[in-house]
């Protein structure tokens, strides 16, 4: 009679343990390098909305009218000789101001600053006038305002 064959039990020797630990460490390092490489190929870019915004056509805007856009944070004011655009961001702490047609002023709801339709400070605490913004007429004949481009105070656009 022959004895049944027995398979030898794999023993965890120091050599095998070190080999397994080395393979595991290399796998983790390669995985990390792979993830970083993929992230490198997809740079983190913050896409912001365009700063040039289109409003309506200039023809229908009567002299003395104020177009207020809370979305774009600006006012467009029709003058006898053209247009001006003002930022509606208060120069005190950045609240959004509102046009008050009854008083003919722009007022800040946060701390009570008041501005004229030239953007000048009527009453504080705002330290500076509202910013004047660049304007143009688009190819489609619409008023456009670039909220990222300031122009000198007093600049009137003939659109
Ligand atoms: Fe406008 Fe303070 S934020 S007055």
Output the pLDDT for position 5.
67
How sure is the predictor about 156, in pLDDT bands with cuts at 50, 70 and 90?
confident
Say yes or no: CB of residue 126 within 6 Å of ligand 1: yes
What ranges do the domains of the chain cover? 52-151
CA gap 27, 21 in Å, rounded: 10
CA gap 25, 127 in Å, rounded: 60
What are the structure tokens assigned to 65, written together?
Answer: 């009218």
pLDDT in tens, 15-44: 888 999 999 999 999 999 999 888 888 878
CA 93 to ligand 1: nearest atom: 3
Output the pLDDT for position 57.
82
Residue ranges in the chain assigned as alpha helix (H): 14-41
The CATH T-level fold of domain 52-151 is Rieske Iron-sulfur Protein (2.102.10)
Say yes or no: CB of residue 108 within 6 Å of ligand 1: yes
CA gap 54, 140 in Å, rounded: 10
- 79 Cβ contact list (under 8 Å, min separation 6): 63, 156
- Ligand 1 atom 3: residue of nearest CA: 93
What are the structure tokens assigned to 110, written together?
Answer: 């946060």
């Amino acid at each position: 009679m022959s004895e049944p064959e027995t398979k030898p039990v794999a023993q965890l020797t120091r050599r095998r343990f070190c080999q397994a630990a080395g393979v595991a460490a290399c796998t983790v390092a390669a995985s990390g390098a792979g993830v970083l490489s993929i992230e490198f190929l997809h740079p983190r870019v913050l896409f912001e909305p365009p700063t040039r915004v289109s409003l309506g056509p200039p023809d229908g805007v009567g002299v003395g009218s104020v177009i207020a856009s809370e979305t774009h944070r600006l006012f467009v004011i029709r003058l006898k000789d053209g247009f001006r655009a003002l930022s509606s961001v208060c120069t005190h702490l950045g609240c959004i101001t509102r046009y008050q047609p009854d008083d003919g002023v722009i007022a800040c709801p946060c701390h009570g600053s008041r501005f004229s339709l030239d953007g000048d400070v009527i009453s504080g605490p705002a330290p500076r006038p509202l910013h004047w913004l660049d304007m143009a007429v688009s190819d489609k004949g619409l008023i456009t305002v670039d909220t990222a481009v300031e122009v000198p105070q007093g600049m009137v656009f003939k659109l």
